[in-house]
Amino acid sequence: MRLSRRSRTAAPAVLEHTADEGAEVAPGDAVNGYQVLKTVEALPISTWRYLWEPDQVRHLGPMAQDWHDAFGFNPDDTTINLVDANGVALVCIQALSRRVDELTAEVERLRKLTERSQ
């Protein structure tokens, strides 16, 4: 299914992508989640609407050109591929989870150190 830029049709089905190792997918490289997180931190994100939408409608996200400048996943700088957006979100969640674990361990270490010194 392809929706045009001006399409106002709601997708009645679930949109999904195939990325399993047995499918026609070329293997890729490992990703540094912390680096991706830093890239997302610097990514301009704003609210916006398509010109044909009513004034009260707002979307939230980066402009496709900023996304392309940040990640360059494909040569098209006018769209954001949802497969890529999902991947970026997931790797950022993983990086944040690791960081929370690191900070939790550090707090626990400092708590024990403080208890011993009292």
**Residue from 32, 35, 36, 61 nearest 48 by CA:** 61
- Quick: pLDDT tens for 50-70: 999 999 999 999 999 999 999
Identity of the residue numbered 24: E
pTM, to two decimals: 0.79
- Quick: pLDDT tens for 7-48: 555 555 556 666 666 767 777 889 999 999 999 999 999 999
CB atoms within 10 A of CB 20: 7
End-to-end CA distance of the chain: 66
